Copies of this chain bind each other. A is one copy, B any other.
Amino acid sequence: MSNSESNSWQDIQKIVLERIHSRQWKPGDMIPNETELAAEFGCARATVNRALQAIADSGLLDRKRKAGTRVTVHPERKAIFSIPIIRKEVEALKKLYSHRVLQSDTRVPPLDISQCMKLETNAEAVRVDTVHMANEKPYAYEERWINPEFLPTTADVNFSEISANEWLVQNAPLSTGDLVFSALNATGKQARILQVDPGQAIFSMTRKTSHKEKVITLVKLAFAPGYELRTSI
C-alpha cells in the first residue's frame, strides 16, 4: 500500500531509515524480506538489496541469510575521521606551515621499539625527529622510526624539504596500521621542544604503519596544548 513510486536506491534507503528511526521497526524486529520490499516499492530486488546493504554497513541492520534482516539491537556507533597530513591540517587553519628536522640518523632502536617493529635484534632503523610549526610556533613534535627496508632510496629523500609524514603517506599507500590516542603529561624534552611547561597535558597519537606483517614506520606525535581531534558521525 502507501508507496507507489520509489525508484532510486537512496530513496529506499531513506524510507527504511525513517521507519527505523520512527520506531515503526524497532530494535530486534525482523523487517520484510527483500522480495517483499521490492514488491512494496515497485522496484527490483537488487535495488532493495543495495539500500539495505548500505544501511547494514552503517551498523543499523543485521543481515543473515535465512534468518532475514533485523534492526540492530545495540547499534555500535561508528565515527570516521581522516588522518591528516599535518601540513594540510595547519594550512586548513590558515596558518603558515613549516617544520624543522631536529635529528635524523640510523641507529639501533630501544628494545620496545625494536620489538614493536618486529626488527631483528640489533638491527638498525632510521630515526627522524621533527617539529611541525604553525606560524613559526610549535604545533606537534614527531618522533619517528622507519624500517630501512622500506627506504631503498634513503639517500634521495631529503626530509628537510618534504616531511617524513608526508613522504610516507604518499609512498606507502594501502598499508594497514594501528592508531592509539592518549593524553600524557609533557616530559621535559617535549615541553622544551613544544615550548610549554613540563606537565602540560599533551594530546598524543601513536601510529604504526604496516604492510603485509612488516612494520614500515612507527610514529609518535605530541601535539601542542589546545589540539583537538574532531569528527562527526
Which residues from chain B contact A203 at a C-beta distance below 8 Å? Answer: 181-183
Which residues from chain B contact A93 at a C-beta distance below 8 Å? Answer: none
Q: Closest Cβ of chain B: how far from A178's Cβ, in Å? A: 5
Complex Cα distance, B227 from A74, in Å, reads 24
Complex Cα distance, B185 from A200, in Å, reads 7
Interface of A is mostly: strand
Q: Select from chain B the residue with minimum beta-carbon distance to A211.
A: B21
Q: Given A27-B170, A183-B227, check contact A76 B80 (CB 8 Å).
A: no
Q: Is A1 an interface residue (CB 8 A)?
A: no
Which residues from chain B contact A79 at a C-beta distance below 8 Å? Answer: 80-83, 179
Q: Given A21-B173, A183-B203, A201-B201, check contact A178 B231 (CB 8 Å).
A: yes
Q: Given A170-B74, A183-B227, A202-B183, check contact A233 B82 (CB 8 Å).
A: no
Considering residues A182, A183, A203, A230, which has the most beta carbons from chain B within 10 angstroms of its beta carbon?
A183
A–B Cβ pairs within 8 angstroms, 20 of them? A20-B174, A60-B173, A60-B174, A74-B170, A75-B169, A75-B173, A77-B83, A77-B169, A78-B80, A78-B82, A79-B179, A80-B80, A179-B232, A179-B233, A181-B203, A183-B184, A184-B201, A185-B200, A199-B199, A201-B201
Which A residues fall within an 8 A CB radius of B?
Answer: 17, 20-21, 27, 60, 74-83, 85, 169-170, 173-174, 176-185, 199-204, 223, 225, 227-233
